[in-house]
Structure 1
Amino acid sequence: MIDINCDMGEGIGNEAALMPYINSANIACGYHAGDVATMRKVIALCLQCNVHIGAHPSFPDRENFGRTPMQLSEEEIYTVVTEQLIAINKVAKECGVRLHHVKPHGALYNMAAKDAVLAKTIAKAVKDFDASLIYYGLSGSVMIEEASKLGLITAAEVFADRTYQSDGSLTPRHQSNALLQDKAAVVQQVIQFVRQNKVQAVTGEEIFVKADTICVHGDGAHAVEFAKAIHQKLNEK
């Protein structure tokens, strides 16, 4: 069964409704959204539903929800990621559970998918903090390459509710065709990921993607509907 992950603790409030349909939660660590209370609440829900607990570190940018690119030094990136891992790990320990994975958020993720130096810096921060953590990164990107070079376990991530460019990158959110809004189209894309290791780009061509984990964005308007439909389709006998 393929892993389904979801970004959570971002102030949307739909975590309880999503939990039955996912395997892994990427929990905001306070820098783009969330705080100690939300981390504790989502971790408690994860424990009830046997969902893996992951960190979702971001640029320090609550004003823009972590979705605006920032130019920080390698040292600053390392510190920003480490601080967020420390914060959520403290809450996890208080709840008696270990972190399972790390998935960067928003602009930090998208920049790292194309910038090897940034990708390596994030991966080094993760490894130095806890080398047993699984690193979730964009399938086929330098995020996976650099984390693998450092010896981290990686999970190649694909996106159920996003469209793709011909180079395997995600269509930028500012473009009108960046998000899939139709449930049938989302399920069809997931099936293509799982059965064919392919996705149809917005240009019409099919590109190869390795799919270890599938993301459904928790802040999407149809998040619960999409997660339920994907879960049901992947569990059909």
Structure 2
Amino acid sequence: MTDHRPVDTWLTDMDGVLVHEEDAIPGAAEFIAALEASGKQFLVLTNNSIFTPRDLAARLRLSGIDVPERAIWTSALATAQFLADQRGGGSAYVVGEAGLLTAMHDVGFVMTDRDPDYVVLGETRTYSFEAITRAIRLIDNGARFIATNPDPSGPSAQGKLPATGSVAALISTATGRQPYYVGKPNPLMMRSALNRIEAHSETTVMVGDRMDTDIISGLEAGLRTVLVLTGSTQRHQIERFPYRPSRVVDSVADLVPLVAGDEA
């Protein structure tokens, strides 16, 4: 990178950067430990809205990566904060799990299926036809349509699973209404994370494994970006995109020496 301003804050994606499913990526634990030792601010970001930060911290700990609960920012938290800013004390019909429901409750929203201000769609492993039908009818009746993230699928040990974007497409087809997605690649996800810790874009680096979500959202939020090659985007695919990361590394293991030296 040619920008030599000191790095005060690191944002990093989770899946594909720190872990593959339940397995830590080599160097991830050391990267987080180096961030903790440096005293710099950092957040682990994820589009996964199923789990609360406490849940995710516990899951990462089982993988050998010690991330404090306070250092995890999810699309569920970003969505709840966005809605609280838009309509404080509003109401919503939520299709999702504990991560999203808890976040919505924590910002003061009322959960209801009677004339809600919003239908909020998050990821869940138990989508029901009844819940989706209810969401469609509420949107038809005027509820605003919000979704945590546009990811069409997610990984599992058995293979792909349909994710929020796929179910949102089903609802959009039925209603003719497109959702507003809050999570990556919307740069709002990055800005909400920075606001959470009162950090500044000009001294922040975003580390991710996907050009089409992590890197573009970091770029549009004014951050320096690092692409790691342990996840979705491979080196030969970078040139397909009309934008570039600030730096490309094999894995977060390569970033451990940079944390103390601010050479990002």
Higher-Rg member (1/2) = 2
Decide: shared fold, TM above 0.5: no
Q: TM-score range by the shorter chain?
A: 0.3 to 0.5
Q: Which has the higher contact order (CA 8 A, sep 6+)?
A: 2
Report the TM-score when normalising by structure 1: 0.36
